[in-house]
Structure 1
Amino acid sequence: MRPESSAFLWDAGEAARRVSEFITDLDEDTYRQDALHRSAVERQLEIVGEALGNLRKHDPETAAAIPDLHRIVGLRNVLAHGYAVVDDGVVWTAARHRIPELIVQINALLGETQDS
């Protein structure tokens, strides 16, 4: 793993943890009705996608260990550039179901770095 890769992974992991924190006490209907939570979650997902996009550019080998990386970066692009077509259901699913898995993957990669 390249030296800068751990910084990208750390940034993505921190943003992912914030997403989980922000939706802890919410259900999907409450999320959809709360502009503040939607905005906060979307912003953190943008950071996740940006950090992992940078990881892909600088360290494709490490990035390849993250399943669905292209979808994560794609969601970031929609959130950043296609804000008029953001599907709250897609964002909710990513936040509720995909982010916990991503946190585990990032922690495993960072654990490999710290043990090296």
Structure 2
Amino acid sequence: MTAAKDPRPFLAHIAESIEWIERHVAGMGIEDFTENVPAQDMVARRLEIIGEAARNIPQEFREQHSSLAWSNMVGMRNVLIHQYFGIDPNIVWDTVVRDLPKLKKQIAQLRAELDADRGVRAV
């Protein structure tokens, strides 16, 4: 697998962004989030990174792992980038609490499988 076609760095960016979001919204509820513009901005930026990383993962790899919502990740990124003026913090919050926990598990599993294929053991 060439470096240009290697999905691992992009999967790492997704995992890192999910962890960043989790750390910074821990203990928050929807009310806290909708009143905290810096938190909204940080989450939006990290969701943009997730979407951009997903977009850069080779199409063949995405097709082989079609159970992940690649197009939703890219779609959210596009909305956040191009329609920033109409972002609903409630929808962003729903993504954080409903979608990210599942995505975190899926990305961790993919990364573990790729590492196992390379003979790398998790620390």
How far residue 49 of structure 1 moved from its aligned partner, in angstroms, is 0.6
Tell me: higher relative CO, structure 1 or 2? Use CA pairs within 8 A at least 6 residues apart.
1
Residues 41-100 of structure 1 deviation map (CA, whole Å, 9 limit, x = unaligned): 11001001110111154733345241x221111111111111011111110000112111
Q: Is the 8 A contact 2:18 2:100 kept in 1?
A: yes
What is the RMSD of the two structures over their aligned residues, measured on CA atoms?
Answer: 1.8
Match of residue 23 from structure 1: 25
Match of residue 64 from structure 1: 66
Structure with greater Cα Rg:
2
Q: Counterparts of 1:46-65 in structure 2 under 5 Å?
A: 46-57=48-59, 59-65=61-67
The alignment of Structure 1 onto Structure 2 pairs a total of residues equal to: 115
1:34 to 36, 48, 53: 36
Q: Counterparts of 1:75-114 in structure 2 under 5 Å?
A: 75-114=76-115
Give the % identical residues. 27
Q: Is the 8 A contact 2:62 2:70 kept in 1?
A: no
Q: TM-score, normalization: structure 1?
A: 0.90
Q: Is the 8 A contact 1:23 1:96 kept in 2?
A: no
Unaligned residue ranges in structure 1 (runs of 5+): none
How far residue 21 of structure 1 moved from its aligned partner, in angstroms, is 1.3
Counterpart Cα distance in 2 of 1:60 and 1:98: 18
Counterpart Cα distance in 2 of 1:92 and 1:56: 28
